[in-house]
């Protein structure tokens, strides 16, 4: 049996790797996605799905509540079936949750310990904290949290980037929280060893519809963009995503290692770096110019893209529209 199965649900643009030693409902939950289910005992039928492609193991589950016709049409109880093949494509008979993410409940409070405080690139403070392993299932890139420090709740919500992982991909109980350098009152009196309260997670509302994505961002909004990108790729491993980040000079480049790591994991992700005020050597990957002036050198047509930009840049929006981007698809 394979260690992982790629679960595909085309109607919801879901493409997710799940463990195949648990039933499909449970394996998806552990991967952070909530499928349709209720009783989890093969009775109610909420979790019924049709196998479009692939195989499942139903030998240890309850199947007598399926009719012979349903069985002959490859209908299964996903709460009773283990994924067996390398790829499993399903069509659910009941609608799935709009967000698919497993944290549909209200945000909760968790006490965590600060382990390390890093000053990153003169833009962010990184808090590396402990985190209760029991909620890692409900914690994903693209979500945000609030901080309660000494009884004072932060007005802003802060981005989560992937929980720190062991080499085998399992959680080691650490997470990074990124606070903009300007929010000094939040972090100036924090020290390693102190405990703070985290409220969340809160999720970003990002359209997941199978279209390609384009993010154009400056360094101040790069963490937010990376967080959204990783949420998109979490839901659909095969999503096409382009990130264009721009900086005044090479010394201000941030998180290039994180971009490279994402690119190595997800074949549909690519990134470009623009330098706006400093000439760049021809033997580098960098592009010189302003985003609105060089965008057409990176991508020629945007008529089907979902586009995120970091500010209301009239010239950039004009260039996007020239490349057939739709105003209603610009966020």
Domain co-membership, 217 together with 301: yes
User: Which of 92, 117, 137 is the C-terminal boundary of a domain?
Assistant: 92
Here the CATH number for the domain that contains residue 312 is 3.40.50.80
Residue 208 lies in a domain: no
Q: What is the pLDDT at residue 220?
A: 85
Most confident of 58-67, 91-100, 137-146, 318-327: 318-327
pLDDT band at 30, cuts 50/70/90? confident
pLDDT grade for 298, boundaries at 50, 70 and 90: very high
d(C-alpha 5, C-alpha 269), whole Å: 21
Q: What is the pLDDT of residue 314?
A: 87
Q: Which residue has the higher pLDDT, 106 or 300?
A: 300
103 assigned to some structural domain: no
DSSP β-ladder status, 171-180 and 108-120: unpaired
Q: How confident is the model at residue 61 (pLDDT cuts 50, 70, 90)?
A: confident
| Residues 6 or more apart whose Cβ sits within 8 Å of residue 41 | 62, 79
**Predicted pLDDT at 1:** 47
> Which of 78, 32, 72 is closest to 57 using CA atoms?
78
More confident residue, 228 or 166: 228
> Is 209 a residue whose pLDDT tops 90?
no
**Residue 288 to residue 273: CA distance in whole angstroms:** 9
- CATH number for the domain spanning 169: value is 2.40.30.10
Average pLDDT over residues 9-29: 87
**Does residue 154 form part of some domain?**
yes
Residue 144 confidence class, pLDDT cut points 50, 70, 90: confident
- Which residue segment(s) compose the domain that 325 sits in? 213-329
- 217 and 325 in a single domain? The answer is yes
Least confident of 118-132, 163-177, 198-212: 163-177
Whole-angstrom distance, CA of residue 110 vs CA of residue 115:
15
Kind and range of the H or E run holding 15: strand 14-19
Q: Is the per-residue pLDDT at 137 higher than 70?
A: no
Is 293 in contact with 276 (CB distance < 8 Å)? no
Q: Give the pairing of strands 306-309 and 213-218.
A: parallel
- pLDDT tens digits, one per residue of 265-285: 888 999 999 999 988 877 778
β-strand partners of 19: 4
Last residue of a domain, one of 92, 119, 141: 92
Mean predicted confidence (pLDDT) in 197-206: 78
Q: Is residue 100 part of a domain?
A: no
Q: Confidence band (pLDDT; 50, 70, 90) for 309? A: very high
d(CA 322, CA 236) in angstroms, rounded, equals 29
Number of domains making up the chain: 3
Do 117 and 82 reside in the same domain of the chain? no
The crossing angle, in degrees rounded to 10, of helices 291-298 and 314-322 is 20
Helix (H, G, I), strand (E, B) or coil at 110: strand
Query: How far apart are alpha carbons 133 and 162 in whole angstroms?
Result: 14
Q: What is the DSSP string of 19-50?
A: ESSS-HHHHHHHTTB--S-SSSSSSS-TTEEE
Q: What is the CATH number of the domain that holds 38?
A: 3.10.20.30
pLDDT band of residue 122 (cuts 50, 70, 90) is confident
> Is pLDDT of 163 > 90?
no
Tell me which of 135, 170, 203 is where a domain ends.
203
Which range of 91-100, 188-197, 277-286 scores highest in mean pLDDT? It is: 188-197
Reduced to 3 states (helix: H, G, I; strand: E, B; else coil), residue 97 is coil
- Whether residue 253 is contained in a domain is answered as yes
- Cα Rg of the chain, angstroms: 22
DSSP string of 145-180, one letter each residue? EEEEETTEE-SS-EEEEEEEE-TTS-EEEEEEEEEE
pLDDT: which is higher, 308 or 96: 308
Lowest-pLDDT range of 9-23, 63-77, 193-207, 287-301: 193-207
Same domain, 227 and 198: no
pLDDT at 171: 60
Q: Cα(37)–Cα(49) distance, rounded to whole angstroms?
A: 11
Distance CA 181, CA 288 (A): 27
pLDDT at 102: 55
Within-domain flag for 102: no
Q: Are 114 and 195 in contact (CB under 8 A)?
A: yes
């Amino acid at each position: 049996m394979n260690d992982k199965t790629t679960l595909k649900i085309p109607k919801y643009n879901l493409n997710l790797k799940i463990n195949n030693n648990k039933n499909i409902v449970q394996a998806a939950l552990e991967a952070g996605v909530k499928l349709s289910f209720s009783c989890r005992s093969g009775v109610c039928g909420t979790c019924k799905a049709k196998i479009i492609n692939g195989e499942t193991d139903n030998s240890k589950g309850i199947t007598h509540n399926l009719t012979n016709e349903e069985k002959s049409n490859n209908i299964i109880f996903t709460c009773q079936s283990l994924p067996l093949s390398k790829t499993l494509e399903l069509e659910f008979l009941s609608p799935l949750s709009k967000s698919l993410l497993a944290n549909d409940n209200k945000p909760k409070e968790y006490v965590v310990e600060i382990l390390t405080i890093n000053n990153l690139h003169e833009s962010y403070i990184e808090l590396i904290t402990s985190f209760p392993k029991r909620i890692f299932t409900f914690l994903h890139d693209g979500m945000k949290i609030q901080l309660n420090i000494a009884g004072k709740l932060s007005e802003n919500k802060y981005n989560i980037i992937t929980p720190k992982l062991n080499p085998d991909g399992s959680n080691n109980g650490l997470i990074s929280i990124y606070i903009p350098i300007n929010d000094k009152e939040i972090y100036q009196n924090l020290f390693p060893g102190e405990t703070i309260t985290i409220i969340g997670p809160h999720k970003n509302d990002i359209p997941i519809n199978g279209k390609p994505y384009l993010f154009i961002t400056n360094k101040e909004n790069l963490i937010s963009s990376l967080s959204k990108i990783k949420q998109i790729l979490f839901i659909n491993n095969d999503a096409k995503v382009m990130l264009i980040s721009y900086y005044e000079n090479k010394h201000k480049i941030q998180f290039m290692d994180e971009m490279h790591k994402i690119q190595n994991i997800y074949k549909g992700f690519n990134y470009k770096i623009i330098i706006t005020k400093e000439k760049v050597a021809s033997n580098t990957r960098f592009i010189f110019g302003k985003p609105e002036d060089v965008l057409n050198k990176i991508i020629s047509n945007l008529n089907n893209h979902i586009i995120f930009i970091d500010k209301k840049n009239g010239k950039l929006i004009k260039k996007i529209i020239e490349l057939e981007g739709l105003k209603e698809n610009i966020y």
